[in-house]
Amino acid sequence: MQFSICTTNYQCAHALDRHLKSVFDLLKGLEFEYIVVDNKSKDRSMEILKRWESQESNMKVLSKKCTMGEGRQISFTHSKGEFILVMDTDTVYYPICEKFLNIYLDEYSDVAVQAMFLGVFPRRIWEKIGGRRSLNAFEDVDMWIRIWELGKMRWYPIVMGENVKDEGSDGRYDYLSTRYNKREQITRLLRKEYDLLKTTGIRELDLEKIAQENTIDLGLGELRKDWFGNYPKLSKTDNIKRFGREMKRTLKG
């Protein structure tokens, strides 16, 4: 098996059909499997996923209440591919992904490369650093930095797909998404704060500088310069105030 797509899903029925069609269309000439762990979605996600699974012999659908990082690691343990693709079920992927993967195989297959909304990781590197940790916030950056410490992480800042977000689910404020009821929004905000505390050491790094120094250019488009930056360095008091503002916004919304 050449590629294993290892992903998670929660309440992404609004984008799933488009996402799956884009993935299976662009990878149809490659040897791949698609493994998704659904986090007990309450929308039509499982109905859609099971329908696709019945049609595609190389697709496996699992169901478990878990964090995003844990879900990706579970999907990895069920995979067989030499290379792991990390994709998002709320993203519709562009045909450029095929060119990206072909160049990767020809020139960069000894390192991990993260483009925007698409990462490709050699299985041996994933295993060496212990894979994804059980985080919802910063679970991707946490893994990138552990690979960077091995000298095996590269970034390619061009967009690989359209991220189909619903109202309120942008970036670090995803917990405000209308996919979640009020109780879930509060729980997710608390979980985010816990995960940020667990990854304090990473957030103290100059992430923007690290990414810039390890950026590659495959010639497929103009490189973005504002991909991901550093969280602001706040004092303990300012962090408490920030959390208070976010909780107030969540309760009011």
Compare 236 and 6 and report the one with higher pLDDT.
6
**pLDDT-derived band at 253, boundaries 50, 70, 90:** low
Query: Residue 170: its pLDDT value, please?
Result: 53
Query: Residue 200: its pLDDT value, please?
Result: 77
Query: Residue 90: its pLDDT value, please?
Result: 94
Mean pLDDT of 118-141: 94
CA-closest candidate to residue 8, choices 80, 85, 87: 87
For the segment 177-213, what is each residue's pLDDT rounded down to a tens digit? Answer: 777 777 777 777 776 776 777 777 777 888 888 999 9
Domains delineated in the chain: 3-165+206-230 (3.90.550.10)
Q: Are strands 83-86 and 118-122 parallel, antiparallel or unpaired?
A: antiparallel
121: left (phi over 0), alpha (psi -120 to 50) or beta: beta
CA distance readout (Å), 142 to 72, 107, 145, 239 = 13, 25, 6, 20
**pLDDT-derived band at 118, boundaries 50, 70, 90:** very high
The Cα 148–Cα 157 span in angstroms is 16
Which neighbouring-strand residues pair with 34?
5, 59
Give 118's contacts (C-beta < 8 A, 6+ positions apart): 85, 86, 87, 93, 97, 100, 160, 161
Compare 61 and 181 and report the one with higher pLDDT.
61
Query: Residue 240: its pLDDT value, please?
Result: 65
pLDDT at 157 over 60: yes
Average pLDDT over the chain reads 88
Residue 195 near residue 127 (C-beta atoms within 8 A): no
**What burial class does residue 22 get, using C-beta atoms within 10 Å of its C-beta: 0-12 exposed, 13-18 middle, 19+ buried?**
buried
pLDDT at 26 over 80: yes
pLDDT at 169 over 60: no
**pLDDT-derived band at 233, boundaries 50, 70, 90:** low
The Cα 119–Cα 114 span in angstroms is 4
pLDDT > 70 fraction of the chain, expressed in percent and rounded: 88
The Cα 162–Cα 8 span in angstroms is 17
Which of 65-69, 121-125, 167-171, 208-212 is predicted least confidently? 167-171
Encoded tokens for 91: 């993203």
CA-closest candidate to residue 205, choices 166, 125, 148, 167: 148
pLDDT at 13 over 60: yes
